[in-house]
Amino acid sequence: MTKFHTGNPEVVPLDPQVIETLRGVSTATISTQLARRGFAHPCMEGVRPLRPDMKVVGPAFTLRFIPNRPDITTPQFGGHPEHPQRVAIETCPEGAVLVVDARGKARSGVVGDIMCRRLQRRGVAGIVLDGGIRDTRDVVATDFPAFCLGAVAPPNPIEHHPVDMNVPIACGDTSVFPGDIIVGDYEGVCVIPRYWAAEIAEEARHKEDVEAFILDKVDRGSSLIGVYPPNEATLAEYEEWKKGRR
């Protein structure tokens, strides 16, 4: 087996402040920043929080499924200590987001209440997957940030077989490399290449600040011309507004 990918060849350290900044900005703003850098798919397709107020930010730790095979996707396999899903749940680092490649299939719940509870107790930031989640009532009640295609009842061995973890994967038709920064909110989930996280966080924070000023102007009856997008004069006005705010 050979691995060769240039996503995050050596996972560069990330200032914890970047995670904090990203917690304060929306996926809408972040996806604009990614789109400006040429990304056709800055967000996962169809992946949504189980509850609208859920927010998740953290580096990706990945798990990969392929279609199940009834002769090997057995209960004995499910209980095996080397079962990649069990291992992922026990080794996903604190503060990380467990991102699972379920190939966009949502006929079964990739995880349920017990798996989520264990992740939560271990300090994992949340889970993101392009499949279903089961026992969602409990997952929601415990406030564990969980993002998926929908709530579904059946267990995952009916359609999935876990094969490896911490490898590059596809999730929601977006590539995810271990260590990429995941941001999820009401509108879905963004994947930020790790080396761009600090820059994008700062730009997103700035953009939202300008937008707060623009919203304020619009509320006061301003037209959008010259205001959104802001021209030089509006930006100068924003700088003054910012000073006044301090």
Partner 1 sequence: MDPDNKTLGPVAAEVIEKLRRISVATISGQLAKHGLRRMFMTNVRPIRSDLKIVGPAFTLRYIPAREDITIPQYTSDPKTPQRKTVEIAPPGSVVVMDCRREVWAAGLGGILSRRMQRRGVEGVVLDGGLRDFSEVESSGFPVFCCGPAAPPNNVLHHPVDFDVPIACGAVPVFPGDIICGDREGVVVIPRYLVEEIADAALEQEEREVFLLEKVDQGASIVGVYPPSEETLREYESWKQRH
| Chain residues that interact with partner 1, rule: CB under 8 A | 1-7, 37-41, 66-72, 77, 80, 82-83, 103, 161, 163-164, 167-170, 173-176, 193
Least Å distance, CB 114 to partner 1, is: 22
CA distance 243 to 17: 23
CA distance 105 to 215: 40
Least Å distance, CB 167 to partner 1, is: 7
CA distance 110 to 101: 10
When the beta carbons of 2 and 223 are compared against partner 1, the nearer one is 2
CA distance 61 to 90: 12
When the beta carbons of 44 and 96 are compared against partner 1, the nearer one is 44
Least Å distance, CB 38 to partner 1, is: 4
Write down the residue that tokens 């999730």 correspond to. 171
When the beta carbons of 77 and 186 are compared against partner 1, the nearer one is 77
Least Å distance, CB 16 to partner 1, is: 24
CA distance 237 to 79: 63
When the beta carbons of 5 and 242 are compared against partner 1, the nearer one is 5
Provide the pairing of β-strand 56-67 with 109-111: unpaired
